[in-house]
Chains A and B, each alone.
Chain A
Amino acid sequence: MKKWFFVIAVLAISLNIMAAEFFVEDSILTPDTKPKWGGVLRLALASTPESFLLYGTLDSSAYTVIMGPMYSTLVEMHPVTNEIRPGLAKSWSVSSDGKEVTFFIREAYWSDGKPIVADDVIFTFEYFVMNKYARGNSIDRFTIPDEKGENKMIQWVKIDDKTVKAILPSPYGPFFTVLSHVYIYPKHKLEPLVDKNDLGSVNKIWLSNVDPKEIVVNGPYKLVQVITDQKVVLERNPNYWKVDRFGTRLPYFDRVEYLIIRDAEVRLAKFMAGEIDFMAIASKDYPMLKQQELAGNVPYKVYATQPNQPTPSPIHISFNFDVNDPDLKDLFAKLEFREAMEYALDRQRIIDEVFAGLAIPDAGLMLPSNKAFYNPKIEKIMRNYDLKKASELLDKIGLKNRDKEGYRLFPNGRRVEFNILVQSSPQEYQDVALIFAQDLQKIGIKANLQILDASLVGQMFGAGNFQAGIRAFGNQPDPQLRKAIWQPGTQLYYWHYSTMDKNATPPKPVFENMFDWEKRIWELFELGQIEMDPAKRKAYYDEWQELYHIYLPVIFVCKGMNIWGINNTLGNAGLTQDGMIVFTVWTVYRK
């Protein structure tokens, strides 16, 4: 009897495999010709994931384990080139007016053998993505203005089990990019757990104490064990829908083990001892590791790669246009002053001293590695370190007179002095502030560092309670995803909050308080949002980048490179010719 059961089970599984429509992974991610199956991949996490439901948490450890290793999206962004490619949807079609996108879901299965269907997509959107009570929702990204300018949600309609249609209020440029961040969850497992009368209940399901057997996945690995503060273990999902170019089913590893290590130095020690196969390296550790690598006898290599990730964020300097000091408010509003500040910023010294040379200066709004949106013209607009020019500009705006100590005076005789608000960690922010303040002193401006705890600093920026500040915000593959930061009149446009009416729900832009160039930037985001033609969209965002660098609402400092350490025994992992990292949990293997 048992024997028969086994035969039937094997038959069922192989039929399953035959019926599946696989995605063939490309040779950028699988350059090696003889990859091997089996073994354990060891990675590090800084803390136990709080939840295994992406939309119920804002925890980066949870993101690491869920996004990619455990769950898949309808469309994917290529991990190296950032191009959009099929995911759970094998293909799609866009209607001629750009307002309807139909997705055809591939013949693929959840880890428990149930087929992945349109209902899963609709359920994920309805209860998680568009649920404003879910902590990790992304309603904002899927709510766009229609032709009349009224904000409307994107609608999802089931055509049949394997076809689902998105109906957009108007054509939406970054639609596929935002969709590549929507991880699809199984309706058949989660629907019974959601309390439909209390939509906040989604934040309380699949927390770290869940029985791993309950968690059903569509990514390369499924959860098998969570040991609080020690380890998270994943195991191959036999139903994963990707194969390599030789027809071998992915992933190659049997298991992925995430060791939970809170302290960065210990993580590094474990990596050096060969206990961890792959991890991000802090720039301060790069010289030491590289030296040891070159000396030989170590089990790893380190790579400084072109930055292509939103984190760590590029640092910028801001001057509060709404500061409640009338002299400073006047001063900060003058373009010549902000230009002088950029001339006084010694980017090269900061890169050399603070980032050990491992940073690039020409990155702020977009990364040079982002071929889809980066505008190289900004490199010509950016003002290079030149204290003489800075001084001349300050003289020109009437700050000629100096006091006994050599500091410049306002026409009313007051010393030109302001505070730079900085959070105490990471250390780089303080170091940048210090170097900047030293240079300002050379041109007769007194800048006091105001170094405080990060959460307090966040609140002060959020309340517009600062004079000047240093802070960092991320890039994204598509500028539209950072609309809430860079578009005037939005909630994170913190250096000019008077451009937003906070009391309106939702908050509204206040055009009469905007500079002309700010109005144009506002408009560019609105245009870029509803444009489906990539070339036209790029033109809008090119202009946006130029405006930021001409008018300097903030001054970008630099962006640290991404540094990775990879164990020598890993295959399909390393650097492309363009200096991009190659590593995904489903294509690496043990040599």
Chain B
Amino acid sequence: MWSFIIRRILIMIPMMFLISIICFIVTELQPGDFLSQYLENPRISPEQIETLRRELALDKPAYERYLIWVKNIIFKGDFGYSFSYQRPVVELIWERLGWTVAIALFTIGFQWLIAVPMGIYSAFHPYTISDYTLTVIGFVGLSIPEFFMALVLMYLILRLGGTAVGGLFSPQFIGAPWSWAKFLDLLNHIWLPIIVVGVSGLAGLMRIMRGNMLDIMGSPFVTSLRARGLDEKVVKRHIVKNALNPLVSIAGMELPNIFSGTIIASIVLNLPTIGPFFYNALLNHDQYLVMTFLMFIALITQIGNLLADIALALLDPRIRVS
């Protein structure tokens, strides 16, 4: 098991290198650079632009900048400097990480809590009205863009006289010390982003669960369980447990999806997460911030996959051996 994990981690290192090169090229391909917006400002003289260009190393060739960047990451743990915030990139991302992770985990929890029972129910009642209804609900959720659902829900809330218009807290609780009232206020707000972000993933999870279960229901081992006269409840438990395996393996992919796929929803819902911040960095040509964010997503994907593989290996000994 340990050698399996170590092998996987060793593979991640060259992968991250490759990804860093791609990230760099992609950001370089953007038209313009950070200073282009300064040209619009009549107060900035050409000499000043030149000074800044030198300061930000924008006068150096691209490959040189890449090498400096990578060198600093490896030897100093320094992911570069945000042009617009004038602060280390890592510090800025760190500030926004807490809520990002919290919302991602809440959302995954929500998806699993809803989608897995939905899938199980559908599989035990295949091709019935209730199966079709759940499927339709799942697919509608999948096909409505998140930002649109967010806007519609917020509009409805506003119309019905509610006040949970975006954000995670009412203004008076932002920055206040934790209290029971603050926690209740959070509950009053957080359901909206969880639903908006989570609903889109429901259909996929539910269909996978349903499909797995139907496959397993027809498999010989289920027949043999039944033939031995096992209680139907026990048989069902075995079916569900086996059907969960493939779900675990895609759970690793869900994490980065929720990090990166919800940028627009986060902007609309005014969530203090990394998404909107990344979007702004892209608009500002804040190169190192963008690259670090992309690297971060790549790393999360890899870690997610690793965790999923470990979980799978724990669930299914055959994988460990092979």
Query: A residues within 8 A CB of B270?
Result: 261-263, 266
Query: A residues within 8 A CB of B44?
Result: 58, 135
**Complex Cα distance A480/B53, Å?**
28
A261 and B46 form a contact (CB under 8 A):
no
Query: B residues within 8 A CB of A200?
Result: 51, 55
Task: Specify the chain B residue showing the minimal Cβ separation from A275.
Answer: B171
Q: Report A429 CB to chain B, min CB distance, Å.
A: 14
Among B64-72, B79-87, B183-191, B208-216, the stretch in contact with A? B79-87
Query: A residues within 8 A CB of B175?
Result: 225, 227, 230-231, 233
Task: Specify the chain A residue showing the minimal Cβ separation from B41.
Answer: A58
A506 and B45 form a contact (CB under 8 A):
yes
Judged by a CB distance under 8 angstroms, whether B154 is at the interface is yes
Judged by a CB distance under 8 angstroms, whether A59 is at the interface is yes
Query: B residues within 8 A CB of A136?
Result: 43
B46 and A507 form a contact (CB under 8 A):
yes
Q: Which of A442-495 contact B (CB under 8 A)?
A: 453, 455-456, 458-459, 462, 473, 482, 484-485, 491-492
Q: Mark B257-277, 1 if CB is under 8 A from A, else 0.
A: 000000000011110100011
A138 and B43 form a contact (CB under 8 A):
yes
A42, A133, A207, A505: which contacts B87 (Cβ < 8 A)?
Answer: A207
Q: From B43, B55, B170, name the one whose CB has the most chain A CB atoms within 10 angstroms.
A: B43
Q: Which of B23-76 contact A (CB under 8 A)?
A: 31-32, 36-48, 51-52, 55
A204 and B86 form a contact (CB under 8 A):
yes
B174 and A230 form a contact (CB under 8 A):
yes
Q: Which of A564-586 contact B (CB under 8 A)?
A: none
B32 and A492 form a contact (CB under 8 A):
no
Judged by a CB distance under 8 angstroms, whether A499 is at the interface is no
**Complex Cα distance A491/B43, Å?**
10
**Complex Cα distance A528/B98, Å?**
56
Query: B residues within 8 A CB of A532?
Result: none
Judged by a CB distance under 8 angstroms, whether A400 is at the interface is no
A-B contact count (CB 8 A): 131
A266 and B166 form a contact (CB under 8 A):
yes
Q: Which of A216-246 contact B (CB under 8 A)?
A: 225, 227-231, 233
B48, B86, B154, B174: which contacts A231 (Cβ < 8 A)?
Answer: B174
Q: Report A73 CB to chain B, min CB distance, Å.
A: 17
Q: Which of A232-270 contact B (CB under 8 A)?
A: 233, 257, 259, 261-263, 265-266, 269-270
B95 and A272 form a contact (CB under 8 A):
no
**Interface band, chain B:** 35 or more
**Complex Cα distance A406/B245, Å?**
70
Q: Report A125 CB to chain B, min CB distance, Å.
A: 16
Query: A residues within 8 A CB of B277?
Result: 229
Task: Specify the chain A residue showing the minimal Cβ separation from B161.
Answer: A273
**Complex Cα distance A273/B158, Å?**
7
Query: A residues within 8 A CB of B207?
Result: none
Decide: A491 near B86, CB < 8 A? Known: A229-B276, A257-B171.
no
Q: Report A264 CB to chain B, min CB distance, Å.
A: 10
A459 and B165 form a contact (CB under 8 A):
no
Task: Specify the chain B residue showing the minimal Cβ separation from A138.
Answer: B43
Q: List chain A positions with a Cβ less than 8 A from chain B.
A: 42, 47, 50-51, 56-59, 132-133, 135-140, 200, 203-204, 207-209, 225, 227-231, 233, 257, 259, 261-263, 265-266, 269-270, 272-273, 275, 453, 455-456, 458-459, 462, 473, 482, 484-485, 491-492, 502, 505-507
The contact sample of 30 A-B pairs, CB cut-off 8 A, is A59-B84, A132-B48, A138-B43, A140-B45, A207-B87, A227-B174, A227-B175, A227-B272, A228-B95, A229-B276, A229-B277, A230-B174, A231-B174, A261-B167, A261-B270, A262-B267, A262-B270, A269-B154, A269-B155, A269-B165, A270-B166, A275-B163, A455-B36, A458-B37, A459-B31, A459-B39, A462-B39, A482-B42, A491-B46, A492-B42
Known contacts A270-B165, A473-B42; 8 additional CB pairs below 8 A are A59-B84, A207-B86, A261-B270, A262-B267, A455-B32, A456-B32, A458-B37, A502-B46
